[in-house]
Each structure stands twice: as structure tokens, then as C-alpha cells.
Amino acid sequence: MIRKKKRKAPARQGAAETRRDDKGIAWRKTEVETAIIAIVADRNQSTARGISRSTQFGRDLGWDDWYKLTLVKPVKRQLHVALSHTMVKNDVKSVGNLADYTWSLMEGI
């Protein structure tokens, strides 16, 4: 008789994954997203109320690729993650992209 291997149960959807920044501070993904939205709102001189993950830098905020680079230093200061200028300028198109990129640079715990 051949026994089949038991499958692992999929990870819970609601489980809050935690990662660490370059200083070793633990962050949840929702905290990173909230911090990114606050940084974008500050740079846009607006409130975070009208900014979401789907907010596009060019279409919704009127930012060009070079203006997006003004986000690199505040992210480094607040989230302790060094972003690539090239990635931010060329590949990050929305607030959600920036939050996901920042999250991907943090170490899993």
C-alpha cells in the first residue's frame, strides 16, 4: 500500500507577516503601507485621506519620474530601508508599488 504525503495547510490569509528594516525594527505590511501613504501625502502637501495603494504618481498626483525621487530620503529616514533610485524612478508607478518594493527589501523574521 502506497501512502500519500500529507499536504501542508496553506498559510492563513489573515496572518500578519512581520519583517525587519535595516535597523532591526519589526514592521507589519499594513504599517509599511500606512507610513508610505503618510510620506506621499507629506510630499504632495495633502492629507492621506485621498491617497491609497492604487494612487498613481503620474496620473493622479501629476508627479514626473524625477519628483518621485524625493521619496527616497523620507523612506530611508522613517522606514530605515535604502531604496534604489533607478527602481523608484523607472519602475515604481503607484503608492502600492512603492509599498511593495519597500516591503520586499525588508528581512523576513
Res 37 pLDDT > 80: yes
Residues 92/101, Cβ–Cβ less than 8 Å: yes
pTM of the model: 0.83
Which pLDDT score, from 0 to 100, does residue 97 have?
97
> Which tens digit of pLDDT belongs to each residue from 52-82?
999 999 999 999 999 999 999 999 999 999 9
What is each CA distance from 23 to 20, 48, 82, 103, in whole angstroms?
Answer: 7, 26, 11, 14
pLDDT of residue 7: 52
Contact by Cβ (8 Å): 75, 83? yes
The structural domains of the chain, ordered by start, are 26-108 (1.10.1200.10)
